[in-house]
């Protein structure tokens, strides 16, 4: 299973991080220079990271900060007689990432900081009661023309299959390509599926809900999700699919580091020894874990902050002042998913090669 995850997890990390994937790739590249290049090559004789600093003047300083410190440290090690200490540095990074993730997971389960996660549980964005939970005596008359989407404030056009909320097309996640999504997908809402299967007062509606919840699936490798409203998407993405991906990446990074003590430098794969390759893989997964965990937490806070009419603003920790502190707000917004803002469609874009003919026709019809 670990080999399977090592083969496919980088594609999921790239799909999750998108253009910010250069952060773990940059750290891994410089570690590769230290471990695999010869001392007499130009890369070892390069005495500074001046070209790297020129790039940092163009891009955001926040994005390059960790990459610069890591790469500069590794380059200094490569020039010194103690360049082999880069191995110990990589081991420390993997261990610290695992400890940081474990500490963050514990904090997110406490009453004080766990509100960032628990505020999504009751789905407060619902503008309609679930059709499957009404009693037979209830009759609900709704003027759909007067209703507004809770995520865009536009007239409603569709219904979420999970929470039955009425939304606009820009407040709805339209799903991912089937070629990526159907491969090794799993059921997400197991508890809701159990409740649907146990419905005895409305067995027909219970069966319909059960089929709907079984069809609502997630892929934990790429990662992808079935269509739903924007609220259900971020609830599942931040605290189920993405949350589990951080655990997977943290375990992979630590496992790759531990495997370096099992294999020696005499085992050659292609042009490099297996031990150095495992160190590079450990660096990639460790840095990816840190970024994805921060991105999930920041995305949840931005979703809460941008939707105060139904989300609880007290769920955001007091020391993260998004209203008055411009510096903190800019950092949180940079790490967060841009689609978490109010009125922005969360559907991701892909190359057309991933879509089938039927999916392309559906995209043209939605436009």
Q: What is the pLDDT of residues 150-200, one digit of tens each?
A: 999 999 988 898 888 899 989 999 888 887 887 778 888 888 888 888 877
- Given a cut of 80, whether residue 253 has pLDDT beyond it is yes
> Is residue 346 a contact partner of residue 307, using CB atoms and an 8 Å limit?
no
pLDDT, tens digit (0-9, with 9 covering 90-100), for 87-136 = 677 777 777 888 888 888 888 888 888 999 999 998 999 988 766 655 44
The pLDDT score that the predictor gives to residue 264 is 62
State the pLDDT confidence band at 39, using cuts at 50, 70 and 90: very low
Query: Could you tell me what percentage of the chain is helix, strand and coil, using 3-state DSSP and rounding each to the nearest 5?
Result: 60, 5, 35
Q: Over the chain, what is the mean pLDDT?
A: 77
> Which pLDDT score is estimated for 131?
62
What residue spans define the domains of the chain? Answer: 2-117+255-340
Q: What is the pLDDT of residue 212?
A: 87
- Select from 242, 265, 208, 239 the least CA-distant residue to 87: 265
Is pLDDT above 70 for 297?
yes
316, 305 contact by CB (below 8 A): yes
Structure tokens, 237: 């993405």
Model's pTM, two decimal places? 0.80
Residues in the chain: 367
Whole-Å CA distances, 344 to 162, 175, 176, 360:
20, 15, 17, 21
pLDDT class for 341, splitting at 50, 70, 90?
Answer: very high
Tokens of 166: 């009425």
Q: What percent of the chain has pLDDT over 90?
A: 21
pLDDT of residue 233 exceeding 90: yes
């Amino acid at each position: 299973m670990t080999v399977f995850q090592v083969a496919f997890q980088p594609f999921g990390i790239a799909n999750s991080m998108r253009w910010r994937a250069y952060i773990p790739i940059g750290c891994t590249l410089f570690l590769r220079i230290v471990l695999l290049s010869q001392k007499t090559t130009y890369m070892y004789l390069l005495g500074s990271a001046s070209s790297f600093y020129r790039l940092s003047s163009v891009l955001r300083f926040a994005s390059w900060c960790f990459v610069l410190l890591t790469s500069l440290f590794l380059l200094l090690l490569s020039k010194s007689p103690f360049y082999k200490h880069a191995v110990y540095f990589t081991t420390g990074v993997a261990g610290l990432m695992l400890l940081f993730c474990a500490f963050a997971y514990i904090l997110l389960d406490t009453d004080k900081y766990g509100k960032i996660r628990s505020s999504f549980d009751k789905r407060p964005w619902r503008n309609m009661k679930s059709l499957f939970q009404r009693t037979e005596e209830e009759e609900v008359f709704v003027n759909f023309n007067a209703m507004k989407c809770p995520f865009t404030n536009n007239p409603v056009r569709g219904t979420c299959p999970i929470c039955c909320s009425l939304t606009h097309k820009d407040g709805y996640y339209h799903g991912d390509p089937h070629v990526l999504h159907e491969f090794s997908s799993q059921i997400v809402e197991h508890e809701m599926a159990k409740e649907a299967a146990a419905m005895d007062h409305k067995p027909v509606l219970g069966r319909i809900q059960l089929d709907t919840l079984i069809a609502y699936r997630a892929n934990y490798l790429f990662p992808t999700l079935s269509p739903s409203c924007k609220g259900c998407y971020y609830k599942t993405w931040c605290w189920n699919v993405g949350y589990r991906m951080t655990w997977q990446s943290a375990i992979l990074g630590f496992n790759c580091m531990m495997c370096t003590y099992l294999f020696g430098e005499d085992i050659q794969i292609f042009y490099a020894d297996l031990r150095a390759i495992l160190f590079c893989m450990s660096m990639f997964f460790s840095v990816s874990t840190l970024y994805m965990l921060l991105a999930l937490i920041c995305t949840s806070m931005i979703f809460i902050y941008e939707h105060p009419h139904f989300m609880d603003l007290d769920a955001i920790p007091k020391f993260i002042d998004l209203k008055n502190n411009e510096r903190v707000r800019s950092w949180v917004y940079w790490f967060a998913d841009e689609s978490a803002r109010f009125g922005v469609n969360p559907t991701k874009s892909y190359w057309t090669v991933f879509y089938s003919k039927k999916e392309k026709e559906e995209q043209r019809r939605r436009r």
